[in-house]
Every structure is written in C-alpha cells, then in structure tokens.
Amino acid sequence: MYVCVCKAVTDTQIREAAQGGARTLKDLRRDLGVTRDCGRCASCAHECLREAQGQMGKPVKALRKAA
Ligand code: FES
C-alpha cells in the first residue's frame, strides 16, 4: 500500500526502514522522502513506523504536532 503518494513510498519500505534503524518521522523523511512534498502522509507514515517498531519491540517516539 502506498503511504506517500508524492514520493511513491509504500508501507513495506517504511517497515524496511524501521528494520534498518529509522526511529522517527524525520528519519523516514531523510531516508525515503516522505512528507517532503504535500505532507499529507505524515500521520499515516508515523502510524506505519509505530506499528513496525511495535512488531520489533522497540520504543516509539510520539509524533509532534505542528503549533
Ligand atoms: S503524500 Fe507524502 S508528501 Fe505528499
């Protein structure tokens, strides 16, 4: 499933990034480019990362809301 349409990033790629050490949305942005264009994928990408980290038993950083 596509999580970020603008950058054509899938949930599988996010899981792989998590397995490779991505811990935050910022890491996904750097590694995969998610949220770089329209930004609408932020919450979905974060949820996908959280699920991947939960499956790996790693702690999850909370998504910071924009002020
Ligand atoms: S859907 Fe990810 S930046 Fe637009």
Half-sphere exposure of 4 (CA within 13 A, CB side): 27
Can you give the pLDDT at residue 56? 80
SS3 67: coil
Regarding the beta carbon of 2 and ligand 1, being less than 6 Å apart is answered no
- Token pair, residue 61, equals 């950083």
Instruction: Give dist(CA 7, CA 9) in Å, integer.
Output: 6
The CATH number of 2-56 is which of 3.40.50.1400, 3.90.1640.30, 1.10.10.1100, 1.10.472.50? 1.10.10.1100
CB atoms within 10 A of CB 44: 16
Which residue minimizes the CA distance to atom 2 of ligand 1?
4
Instruction: Give dist(CA 61, CA 37) in Å, integer.
Output: 23
Can you give the pLDDT at residue 59? 61
Overall pTM > 0.85: no
Distance from the alpha carbon of residue 62 to the mean position of ligand 1, in angstroms: 20
Residue 36 reports pLDDT greater than 90: yes
Beta strands per DSSP E along the chain = 2-4, 9-10
